[in-house]
Structure 1
């Protein structure tokens, strides 16, 4: 399955959707077509019941180098041009840039980002939209916007402090310094490192997809509620989920398979 002028390509194998940023000659830099393709692909995956997990990766030498230089030129020539015209909201996100990162949190299936090469600026923010990030030890990541006189505007200011802490998030965003994959794991910016992050991400995604689809989707949803809703609401959501799962045909089948395999 493909979207648009080959900015994003994707396919589904054994319940795992592999979504690839597909502009390798530009290190998968973000232009308007890339934003549109990411939002369209993520939005389509929201409704794919056959998908148990998603892998998000970049073709070629990098995950994503961030905003295309042509977009920066447009900012210079037309002040304010980076701000999208008002659109219908995708969850809490209204602009295309925010939606390109936020849509992955709206996909019910868990999303694993495989990061190699560079993940700069908006590229890093897209990776932050995933549930899990596996990085190459020598990958280079940066909240780079400050170097261009702007701020992270693709959900980064809201997501980053939750992952690394408010002080570290400020330090990264105020300096634009690059961190390696190894340091990203130490900071909490990435989940773990692997020599081949794509192979590791695909293996993890297939493992996740092998579990109960309804259960894994509830796990993602419940974990995303933590700290964002009151404790009473979170605990009630937990009980609602377990009440829906216990005794369901899918859960009964899982129990029977496990008992048969003892």
Structure 2
């Protein structure tokens, strides 16, 4: 993982950095593996309360590495160097829960129990755009170029972002961006709903927001993420029930009491894991 993805953890915040600056963090086999390894390691790290996801160098992520297109031309539809002989046909095989390997590079960030903030700059094309959709929040530098790029290469978006893009964007807007692989800049992306905020230094802003989150009751933050992850796909009665169940696991428990006491005593809280 260290070659392609760097993970630094400090003060309950994990900063995950795509580390292939010479290729604008394009997704090759090692990058896919590094992203998944980073996500899976953070899923079980109870000391982490927030995650920032960014890219080194000139861009967040330029999408699929051209070498993977060569693998596709050789008959491996997932762009990997491996193929399957079990008759399942490459991408339809579920390898990571409900997702395949490529989809999991985006979906893993939704499965993390803590909030993830993506900091975008340069470009977020194709797979890079889809990985960013796995984050809870997206900050982008002015002028960042974003595209659902797959149609340019004769493909459909297939890295796990469609369920969330369909909730963020109007249906006709998502269709236009998908069918045309139009490149939009951060300011338009914010107006459409793909970007949370446009800000001069998105990494600094993401780290500042992560610090705020890390200072909240970690039990409540995890519970809120569970509710918000499921809400777009649930009936209102199920969402209301989920709220009540989460609250029952918070009221009167040590971290919730500490949140109240810290506010009343005007001091920084001291939460347990």
Paired with 2:264 and 2:77, the residues of 1 have a C-alpha distance of 61
CA distance change for structure 1 residues 81 and 49 in 2, over 3 Å: closer, same or farther?
closer
SS at structure 2 position matched to 1:17: strand
Q: Which deviations, in whole Å up to 9, do the C-alpha atoms of 1:115-165 show, x marking residues without a partner?
A: 000000000000000000000111000001001000100013322111112
Paired with 1:80 and 1:12, the residues of 2 have a C-alpha distance of 36
Paired with 1:117 and 1:190, the residues of 2 have a C-alpha distance of 14
CA displacement at 1:84 relative to structure 2: 4.4
Q: Which deviations, in whole Å up to 9, do the C-alpha atoms of 1:10-31 show, x marking residues without a partner?
A: 0111110000001111000001
SS at structure 2 position matched to 1:247: coil
List structure 1 runs of 4+ shifted beyond 4 angstroms.
none
**More deviation in 223-232 or 16-25?**
223-232
Paired with 1:62 and 1:241, the residues of 2 have a C-alpha distance of 38
Tell whether 2:69 aligns with 1:63: no
Gaps of 5+ in 2: 80-89, 268-273
Contact 1:161/1:168 (<8 A) preserved = no
CA displacement at 1:166 relative to structure 2: 1.3
CA distance change for structure 1 residues 101 and 21 in 2, over 3 Å: closer, same or farther?
same
Tell whether 2:79 aligns with 1:73: no
Equivalent in the alignment of 1:119: 124
Tell whether 2:104 aligns with 1:107: no
Equivalent in the alignment of 2:41: 44
Count of aligned residue pairs for this structure pair: 257
Scaled by the length of structure 2, the TM-score of the pair is 0.91
Contact 2:167/2:232 (<8 A) preserved = no
17, 27, 50: which is aligned to 2:14? 17
CA distance change for structure 1 residues 174 and 192 in 2, over 3 Å: closer, same or farther?
same
Paired with 1:101 and 1:80, the residues of 2 have a C-alpha distance of 18
Equivalent in the alignment of 2:84: none
Paired with 2:118 and 2:242, the residues of 1 have a C-alpha distance of 27
CA displacement at 1:87 relative to structure 2: 4.8
23, 28, 36: which is aligned to 1:26? 23
Tell whether 2:232 aligns with 1:227: yes
CA displacement at 1:231 relative to structure 2: 1.8
**More deviation in 226-235 or 251-260?**
226-235
Contact 2:78/2:102 (<8 A) preserved = no
SS at structure 2 position matched to 1:119: strand
Gaps of 5+ in 1: none
**More deviation in 160-169 or 188-197?**
160-169
141, 144, 147: which is aligned to 1:139? 144
Tell whether 2:85 aligns with 1:88: no
Scaled by the length of structure 1, the TM-score of the pair is 0.94
CA displacement at 1:85 relative to structure 2: 7.7
